[in-house]
Amino acid sequence: MITIRRMMQADVDRAAEIEKDNFSMPWTKKDFQETLQLSYAFYYIAEEEGKIIGICGLRNIAGEGEVTNVAVDRSFRRRGVAKLLLAEVLREGKKQGIEAFTLEVRAGNEAAIRLYETFGFQKDGFRKNFYENPTEDALIMWKR
């Protein structure tokens, strides 16, 4: 059974491993350690049988939610892990009074875009050449 809980400092090594396996410009252990200290940042992990299999974050920026770091261990993909994480992040944001959420995703990441659309996110703009390795535009999506 997959469970979702708040990320703790003890989780940052595994979170950084998942990041490294998923992104060409991954967050480091230090990035996660520092972010967990921020009062406006809420990061979650998905775990199964004690193993961390996914991560997702939310930052409350001036009353708007920025969804970050949606990543799942490759061997656990297509099992609804990202969906569970995103649902928890959005629930937490709503508890805080957040009504508008945004995120950035590689323009070519069709699977992620479809997932976000199922939660009501809509395409709202681009950031040209935002990503590296390879260079790609970021699609900006909003859920209002």
CA distance 31 to 25: 12
Q: Can you give the residue ranges of every domain in the chain?
A: 2-143
pLDDT of amino acid 25: 87
Helices (H), 66-138: 81-95, 110-118
Beta-carbon neighbour count of residue 111 at 10 Å?
Answer: 11
CA distance 48 to 76: 10
Q: Which of 96, 109, 89, 93 is nearest to 45 (CA)?
A: 89
Overall pTM > 0.95: no
Q: What is the mean pLDDT of the chain?
A: 95
At residue 24 the predicted structure's pLDDT band, cuts being 50, 70 and 90, is confident
Classify domain 2-143 at the CATH class level: alpha beta
